[in-house]
Amino acid sequence: MITVLLFAQLQDSIGKEQIEMEASNISISELKERLKSTYNLPQIDHVMISVNEEYALPGDMLSSGDVVALIPPVSGG
């Protein structure tokens, strides 16, 4: 089980603060594609990803128990 934390517009799009997913031994890229298709999140291509509070790369592998945070770009002035 992987916990996915959502912030800002991603949270608004899905209507939840977090998602529990039955997944392990998948890459960050695979997780993003799964979330993109399941929840219709085209903006997920532009988010930063952290795994267990450390920034992650698209090829990094996930394991059961990981906590993934999807951090959208910040705008403002």
Q: What CATH number does residue 35 fall under?
A: 3.10.20.30
How far apart, in whole angstroms, are the C-alpha atoms of residue 4 and residue 22? 11
Say what the pTM is.
0.88
Domain of residue 24: give its range. 2-71
DSSP state of 17: S
Full pLDDT tens readout for the chain, 77 residues: 999 999 988 999 899 999 999 887 899 999 999 999 999 988 898 899 999 999 999 999 999 999 999 998 876 55
Tally of CA atoms within 13 A in the half-sphere of 32 that contains its CB: 23
Residue 76 lies in a domain: no
Q: What is the pLDDT of residue 38?
A: 93
Residue 17 lies in a domain: yes
Structural domain count, the chain: 1
Q: Which helix (H) or strand (E) holds 4?
A: strand 2-6
Residue 77 lies in a domain: no
